[in-house]
Structure 1
Amino acid sequence: MKTFKFKISLFVLFAILSYACQNDSLNPIDEDSTPPGKVSDVVVEPGQGSARISYTLPNSSNLLYVKAVFEIKPGVKQEAKASYYKSFVVVEGFADTLVHDVTLYAVSRSEKLSEPVTVKVKPLPAPVYDVFNTLDISESFGGFLVKFNNPAANSLNVNSNIRIGVLRYDSLAKEWDQIDMHYSGLVDGKFSVRGLEAKKQKFGFFIKDRFDNVTDTLIREMTPIFEQQIDGSKIKHVKSGHPVPQVAPLPLDGSEVKHAEVYSSSWELPKLFNDVYGHSDGLHTKERFAQPIWITMDLGVTAKLSRYKWWQRLHTNGQDYFYSHGNPHQWEIWGTNNLSDPNSWVKLDARVLQKPSGLPVGILSNDDREIALAGHEFEFADHNTAVRYIAWKNIDSWASIEGTFGHLHMAELKLWGQIQ
């Protein structure tokens, strides 16, 4: 009997679902077929690659939204919509400063269109052209550096997000190859292209936005500076037993700068050079050390160091560590060829890590995460002094900015230079 009832129940459920599916369709939310009145008192305010069109809404009880129909380039149609809560609509994606027709429709709840109202807009130059005009490109170690400004990123203009394409000319095939594409939504940005042969080459740079509007190509002929990567497997931890410079900044508690001790055998220095970028692998010092703390390394070779790149520890137990916890905030790198002489050390670089978004510790933007995942690259301020030993002087970490006690952890470190 129970089995029979169960079968009857399934049959009834199936019948109900079948009926519902047969009667399910995407109909307008209102069946009133009366078209709404049209918008009036239209005012156009040009923007960069865009325009803001203000208007007075019709006095129609069935009004749902206003739709703008336009072409950003011949044959490429776009639509923009604004609800009846707003009295303006923004049209964007224009690559030129020509006059464009924009047709406005008031749309009812039953998707009935009002009479059209056509206005003309003449947008200002798109943000990609401002970025293009600020490109600052310079030869560097193993490649080149690209710096740029994107003032439109200060606004809420979605069109301000840009991509910078990098091309290299293949003289044998007589064609251009794309070797990099850099995305950014930041006001001030920079990136590098590395791993290039130290010979004169021709490169091209262009800017593109999310509407595939693209600038002309800037052509530069450059010769990357020769460098080679220092073999991380040969880098050894030089632990306490040698004097270090006692120069400012010094610990706030009045003590001397000391050699940091590693957290455990699973967080020793070799983990910093093993090509593993996870959350539980890398260098980790003991906690609550008076900062600054000092980590000394034997490079295994003598080299003029050109640049370095390091990666933050990711997270642990689901807690995100980017720009927080023991990840470095301010540091210096020193070098010497004589460990027994504290006066022989030379400061090779000094940095403060800037959080791209400027948000408080613990709050991250997508740019923060993407830049941290890609690693932080810096050129040595002094790349002319050949050294055998270097020391990372960790002044403070993100969880202890300007604090007395703290610790250091990093996931990975890479070094480049010219081996002597």
Structure 2
Amino acid sequence: MKRFHILLCTILTAFFACKQDQLKPISGDKTPPNPIMNPTVIGMAGAAEISYSLPDDQNLSYVRAEFEINGVKKEAKSSYFKRSVRVEGFGDTAEHTVTLYAVSRAEVASSPVQVRVKPLPPAIWKVYKSLDVAEAFGGLQVKFSNEDRGKIVIVTLLYDPAAKEWRNVNNFYYGLDSGRFTVRGLQPVKQQFGIYIKDRWDNKSDTLRFELTPIYEEELDKSKFMSAMKKKYPIPQVAPLPKTPGVKIVEPGNLSSWPIDNMWNGIIGNEGYHTTENKDVPVWIPIDLGVKAVISRYKIWQRQAAYIYNHGNPHEWELWGTNTPTDVNSWVKLDHQIMEKPSGLPLGQNSNEDIDAAAAGQEYELPVGTPAVRYIAWKHIDSWAAVDGIIGHLHISEIAIWGQIKK
């Protein structure tokens, strides 16, 4: 017991001594270092890179840059291994003063050296000037470029004439060189909208104001969907679906606990429709929508949990449609897609962004001019675990379809 007590005291003493040491400067030498020399400035988008020569001082730890953005004091640091420091977050192209200090291991600063920096236009303004807005089914679509790859937020506003105020309807976060997004769920009447760009330093662009009328659409009633494979009418189970020359169309079938009706039962998770396995591809899955409609868009949810972007979840497919399913020549291709993983990571590796996208469902919009159809057929080309393979299977947790119902 005595030996244990001594050992415990030794460990505690060492722990608290280390913890206390971490709060102290690395050195006790209070001599201030010499200042940095020969500063030069290169303006960048919303930022500036300041290069300099370091003093010959063995006690030097880092260089600190102090500046202000929108009246708020900011600082940036760079270790003595580097010969430059980056100051960023400027929302304009005016000249700004940056004060540089060489700082010792004892946290003693040198005399200040001031430089003037003139940033280039920040990313928010380039994105703002690139905005391209158009009406879309159920809302509006925004396209833009972001050549500086700034971490931006595109904020969409809708004017409420009753309350006489603007309200936020969508925030889109982005950091790549170009992109687009669609705001949905808006009434098909002329409305006034606004869009502005902001960054993580709360710099904001002007607000682009415009009027447009979202295109009418509604979600098709899933209770009217019917499985042609189950009903065997009016779409035959195999032929005469559109044929690929030299390729046999096989009956997909389903695992007993994964019937096709699960694909539109409103439940998203580790269940859904699952074909039988080891099928030659392509596999055709015909569905009666119950109504004739111009399909504007559809959303699919993968089988969730460990199966996302893997196993039998769809990777490449086509969507076909017709109003006379018994006529093999009446089928037209409505869409062709290859699912993309947001992160671009290889099979079996998923980022948080990948997981969130799979949970939210992947949405695909059909072009304007798509014909109205009542019967569709999903042509399964390959799954994530059998990319470019000749055999495989398919599972989908849920599908939802929007469009304009026609008589």
Asked if 2 retains the 8 angstrom alpha-carbon contact of 1:243 and 1:341, the reply is no
Distance in 1 (CA, whole Å) between partners of 2:330 and 2:11 is: 88
Q: Calculate the TM-score normalised by the size of structure 2.
A: 0.90
One of 79, 86, 89 as aligned partner of 2:85: 89
Q: Are 1:285 and 2:281 matched, yes or no?
A: no
Asked if 2 retains the 8 angstrom alpha-carbon contact of 1:50 and 1:92, the reply is yes
Q: 1:258 is matched with which residue?
A: 250
Task: State the Cα distance separating 1:202 from its structure 2 match.
Answer: 0.5
* Count of residues in Structure 1 that have an aligned counterpart in Structure 2: 399
Asked if 2 retains the 8 angstrom alpha-carbon contact of 1:311 and 1:411, the reply is yes
Task: State the Cα distance separating 1:271 from its structure 2 match.
Answer: 2.2
Distance in 2 (CA, whole Å) between partners of 1:49 and 1:340 is: 62
Task: State the Cα distance separating 1:374 from its structure 2 match.
Answer: 2.8
Q: 2:194 is matched with which residue?
A: 204
Distance in 2 (CA, whole Å) between partners of 1:163 and 1:308 is: 26
Q: Which amino acid aligns with 1:100?
A: H
Distance in 1 (CA, whole Å) between partners of 2:304 and 2:43 is: 44
Q: Are 1:298 and 2:291 matched, yes or no?
A: no
Q: Where does 1:41-60 land on structure 2 (aligned, <5 Å)?
A: 41-60=38-57
Distance in 1 (CA, whole Å) between partners of 2:136 and 2:225 is: 25
Q: 1:130 is matched with which residue?
A: 126
Matched residue of 2:148: which SS?
Answer: helix
The Cα offsets for residues 189-243 of structure 1, whole Å up to 9 and x where unpaired, read as 2211111111110111111111111111111101111111112233222116341
Q: Which amino acid aligns with 1:339?
A: P
Asked if 2 retains the 8 angstrom alpha-carbon contact of 1:397 and 1:406, the reply is yes
Q: 2:261 is matched with which residue?
A: 270
Matched residue of 2:20: which SS?
Answer: coil
Q: 1:72 is matched with which residue?
A: 69
One of 76, 97, 102 as aligned partner of 1:101: 97
Distance in 2 (CA, whole Å) between partners of 1:205 and 1:221 is: 11
Asked if 1 retains the 8 angstrom alpha-carbon contact of 2:238 and 2:251, the reply is no
Q: 2:320 is matched with which residue?
A: 334
Task: State the Cα distance separating 1:261 from its structure 2 match.
Answer: 2.1
Q: Calculate the TM-score normalised by the size of structure 1.
A: 0.87
Asked if 2 retains the 8 angstrom alpha-carbon contact of 1:244 and 1:257, the reply is no
CA gap 1:40/1:370 in 2 versus in 1, 3 angstroms = farther
Matched residue of 1:91: which SS?
Answer: strand
29-38 or 117-126, which deviates more: 29-38
Task: State the Cα distance separating 1:330 from its structure 2 match.
Answer: 1.9
Task: State the Cα distance separating 1:292 from its structure 2 match.
Answer: 1.4
Q: Are 1:378 and 2:367 matched, yes or no?
A: no
CA gap 1:89/1:373 in 2 versus in 1, 3 angstroms = farther
Task: State the Cα distance separating 1:151 from its structure 2 match.
Answer: 1.2
Q: Which amino acid aligns with 1:268?
A: P
Task: State the Cα distance separating 1:337 from its structure 2 match.
Answer: 2.4
Asked if 1 retains the 8 angstrom alpha-carbon contact of 2:39 and 2:50, the reply is yes
Matched residue of 2:34: which SS?
Answer: coil
Distance in 2 (CA, whole Å) between partners of 1:40 and 1:259 is: 77
How large is the RMSD of aligned CA atoms in angstroms? 2.7
Asked if 2 retains the 8 angstrom alpha-carbon contact of 1:80 and 1:90, the reply is yes
Distance in 1 (CA, whole Å) between partners of 2:146 and 2:353 is: 15
CA gap 1:389/1:22 in 2 versus in 1, 3 angstroms = closer
Q: 1:116 is matched with which residue?
A: 112
62-71 or 373-382, which deviates more: 373-382
Q: 1:157 is matched with which residue?
A: none
Task: State the Cα distance separating 1:175 from its structure 2 match.
Answer: 0.5
Asked if 2 retains the 8 angstrom alpha-carbon contact of 1:246 and 1:256, the reply is no
CA gap 1:331/1:9 in 2 versus in 1, 3 angstroms = same
374-383 or 388-397, which deviates more: 374-383
Q: 2:311 is matched with which residue?
A: 325
Structure 2 unaligned blocks of 5 or more: 230-235
Q: 2:394 is matched with which residue?
A: 408
350-359 or 105-114, which deviates more: 350-359
Matched residue of 1:267: which SS?
Answer: coil
Structure 1 unaligned blocks of 5 or more: 154-159
50-59 or 404-413, which deviates more: 404-413
CA gap 1:19/1:361 in 2 versus in 1, 3 angstroms = closer
CA gap 1:186/1:44 in 2 versus in 1, 3 angstroms = same
Q: 1:348 is matched with which residue?
A: 334
Q: Share of identical aligned residues, percent?
A: 48
One of 194, 217, 222 as aligned partner of 2:207: 217
Distance in 2 (CA, whole Å) between partners of 1:242 and 1:205 is: 49
Asked if 2 retains the 8 angstrom alpha-carbon contact of 1:242 and 1:340, the reply is no
Asked if 2 retains the 8 angstrom alpha-carbon contact of 1:38 and 1:105, the reply is yes
Q: 1:156 is matched with which residue?
A: none
Q: Are 1:243 and 2:239 matched, yes or no?
A: yes
Distance in 2 (CA, whole Å) between partners of 1:297 and 1:23 is: 67
Matched residue of 1:214: which SS?
Answer: coil
CA gap 1:304/1:246 in 2 versus in 1, 3 angstroms = closer
Task: State the Cα distance separating 1:274 from its structure 2 match.
Answer: 3.0
The Cα offsets for residues 132-155 of structure 1, whole Å up to 9 and x where unpaired, read as 1121211111111112221112xx
One of 134, 146, 149 as aligned partner of 2:145: 149
Task: State the Cα distance separating 1:366 from its structure 2 match.
Answer: 4.7
Task: State the Cα distance separating 1:23 from its structure 2 match.
Answer: 8.8
The Cα offsets for residues 230-257 of structure 1, whole Å up to 9 and x where unpaired, read as 1223322211634144444x6xxx5313
Q: Where does 1:161-200 land on structure 2 (aligned, <5 Å)?
A: 161-200=151-190
295-304 or 136-145, which deviates more: 295-304
Q: 2:33 is matched with which residue?
A: 36
Asked if 2 retains the 8 angstrom alpha-carbon contact of 1:41 and 1:55, the reply is yes
Matched residue of 2:257: which SS?
Answer: helix
